[in-house]
Chains A and B, each alone.
Chain A
Amino acid sequence: MPHDHHDHLSPSGHPYRPDNDEALSYWQTMEIAVRELLVENGITTLAEINEQIEAMDRRSPADGAKVVARAWVDPAFKARLLADGSAAMKELGFEPDFMKLVVVENTDEVHNVVVCTLCSCYPRNLLGLPPDWYKTRAYRSRTVKEPRTVLSEFGLELAHDLRVQVHDSTADMRYLVLPRRPDGTEGWPEEKLAQIVTRDCMIGVAVPNPA
């Protein structure tokens, strides 16, 4: 059996990925230089930088889900969340830092979906890092033009009489969709409600499924 057909595959049968050991780009070199200067001049430390990276990695859509579940069970909290998202998330112990959060509510008339056509603005302080597709040119350009087609590709077919409201995060605000609480979840405790609130529900490309 000729062996050379398989030379580009690992023993597990998957293709080898190229190593990322090419020369540094201009901006990678610049980042290293600035970081080293900040550390050498005592402005920050490597420990502080690592702590910041770890803090970023600790955030996840589970944080946003807790905020949504609280809003579902506590109408007064929901009112505060819609009026000032950053202040309300702080009540639950989530730190907005400089993030200015606007929460938009799905109703029986409106379905909200969030995009950033200019770059990849995303409520990172509540949901963590955005998914790769959120940053693609396809999602960014198509969501403002044919949102219903994009949503159907995510498996979400909306009722004809719902208005789709796209939010383009063009400047200082960051957006979180407050989904509708699904029928059949009456009496559920907050923790169980939070489990059906996925990342995609809070971007607006999905709705919670209680099944």
Chain B
Amino acid sequence: MSLPRVDPPPFPPPYPPGNPRFGSGDAVRVRPGIAPGHIRTPWYLRGKTGVVERVCGAFGKPEELAYGRDGGRVPLYRVRFTMQEVWGGKASRPDDTIDAEIFEHWLEAADAP
């Protein structure tokens, strides 16, 4: 597993974060799940492990919002991945990184079974 370095931002989230389970620097894995409907967790990151860069705040759950339902607010994170983790041997520069916003219900601790 190839994890990137993350420097925690020297400021708090500008939006109410709710009660986030993870914090900057935590290693997390994107759930490899498949779900119907409107999802904002890209395919290429499912099952990949990265490090929380920052907590953005808590925002509406896209799977519910897309159908006009109020699914409450869920903590949203920016998670950083190495190219090595995402693309494996096909990565042209393994240490370059990708940051993406992932909602908490799509994340689990990297050491979860």
Contact = CB atoms under 8 A, between A and B. Distances in A.
A164 B40 contact: no
B78 to A, nearest CB: 7
A169 B78 CA distance: 10
Given A118-B42, A170-B41, A171-B62, A163 B96 contact: yes
Contacts, number: 77
Interface stretch (A51-59, A146-154, A186-194): A146-154
Nearest to A87: B14
A84 B14 contact: yes
B99 A164 contact: no
Interface residues of A, number: 26
Interface string B46-61: 0000000000110100
Interface residues of B, number: 29
A131 B95 CA distance: 29
A173 B95 contact: no
A166 B11 contact: no
B102 interface: yes
B59 A170 contact: no
Chain A contact surface mostly: mixed
A82 B10 CA distance: 10
B15 interface: yes
A77 to B, nearest CB: 14
A52 B113 CA distance: 51
A138 B88 CA distance: 21
Given A100-B15, A171-B59, A172-B56, A165 B92 contact: no
A100 to B, nearest CB: 7
Chain B contact surface mostly: mixed
Nearest to B77: A171
A147 B97 CA distance: 10
A87 B62 CA distance: 24
A167 interface: yes
Interface string B72-93: 0000101010000011001011
A100 B62 CA distance: 16
Interface of A: 82-84, 86-87, 100, 102, 117-118, 144-149, 163-173
28 contacts: A82-B9, A83-B14, A117-B44, A118-B40, A118-B42, A145-B90, A147-B96, A148-B92, A148-B96, A163-B95, A163-B96, A164-B96, A165-B80, A165-B97, A165-B98, A166-B97, A166-B99, A167-B99, A168-B98, A168-B99, A168-B100, A170-B40, A170-B101, A171-B101, A171-B102, A172-B59, A172-B101, A173-B78
